[in-house]
Structure 1
């Protein structure tokens, strides 16, 4: 159990919670998803890293499958169904990894979301798209490695999704 007495002590200005940020703080830099969620506890009492994933997918059935699969594996998942909501979410908090459908419906497409994300942070992005040629060409031209940008062509198995995500997330001793 987490002792919150230090977090509630107004005299200790070094303790901050993602919910206690001032409006000026929110405008300057988005927080990390991991700053707002406490880590899981392992059986031995040690902290286990909880990875936070943003799933951007406009197909509700696929979004539900991805979210349920990732949640069952212990990830904290936020799912949005449009490019507009993805960009809004990214301006508030940066996840550890984004699963991004390039072929979003609406005015803001996956490429726009990727560009907005890269202006904020360089975190791993797993592009999902049936448009293999455009995704691979962008990956070659961007100069990013497969640890920060990779493509999983649709249709794909959920096992393939999990393997790519596990490869792309930072390896930490506690995970």
Structure 2
């Protein structure tokens, strides 16, 4: 029998900790909890944690600080939860390394779906290697060579990529099957703030759509762009 994934719920609200613990355990997960950063670190030292559900608004070290610290030394996936659900909060959470962001209040069933999606994506990489640490990535019959900065089509045709197109594609491959906002993409691809009139990302997406298979990069209304494909290290 496969060992159940071990989740760590970090939230200073004991009612939320208990609610999520009961629900996720009923769904077959092993669950530990922590009320603050100190307890979170102790849990991480004592257990092999597969995913952290991390609240932002906590006394002392908040979730953003804890996520940044965790990401600096670990690839353990993080889903952030917060009563602050503005676009800026979501962008900040994702920028510092969170794998997903869920505003409060939320239905535990939605959290469960997001946990499954993140774990499936992360565990598709051997030893949880990150996309930017893998030289060759396969997706939908295509192969990205991160060293040569080109893609190989299913027919064996080499398609060269410009710098911004390469950075955008690699970023989409880091978060497959998940919508990424224009602001998030703009900040990471061009290292600049977004404005309503900045269409740089849209131009890059248009070029990639012309170069790749039709339908690979989806527009998700009011959310951004998404690469609709599973991603695997080349074998």
Residues 122-175 of structure 1: CA deviation (Å, up to 9, x unaligned): 122110001123432224534x5xxx61001000011111111111113779xx
2:80 to 127, 138, 148: 127
How far the C-alpha of 1:119 sits from its partner, in A, is 2.3
How far the C-alpha of 1:120 sits from its partner, in A, is 2.3
The corresponding residue for 2:33 is 79
Do 1:90 and 1:117's aligned partners in 2 also have CA atoms closer than 8 Å? no
4+ residue stretches of structure 1 with deviation over 4 A? none
Equivalent pairs counted in the alignment come to 122
Unpaired runs of at least 5, structure 2: 125-235
User: Computing the radius of gyration over CA atoms, which structure comes out larger, 1 or 2?
Assistant: 2
2:108 to 144, 155, 158: 158
1:70 to 5, 19, 24: 24
Residues 7-57 of structure 1: CA deviation (Å, up to 9, x unaligned): xxxxxxxxxxxxxxxxxxxxxxxxxxxxxxxxxxxxxxxx22310000001
Unpaired runs of at least 5, structure 1: 1-46
Instruction: Provide the C-alpha distance between the structure 1 equivalents of 2:95 and 2:100, rounded to a whole number of angstroms.
Output: 13
Do 1:54 and 1:98's aligned partners in 2 also have CA atoms closer than 8 Å? yes
Matched, 1:149 2:102: no
Normalised by the length of structure 2, the TM-score is 0.47
Instruction: Provide the C-alpha distance between the structure 2 equivalents of 1:119 and 1:56, rounded to a whole number of angstroms.
Output: 18
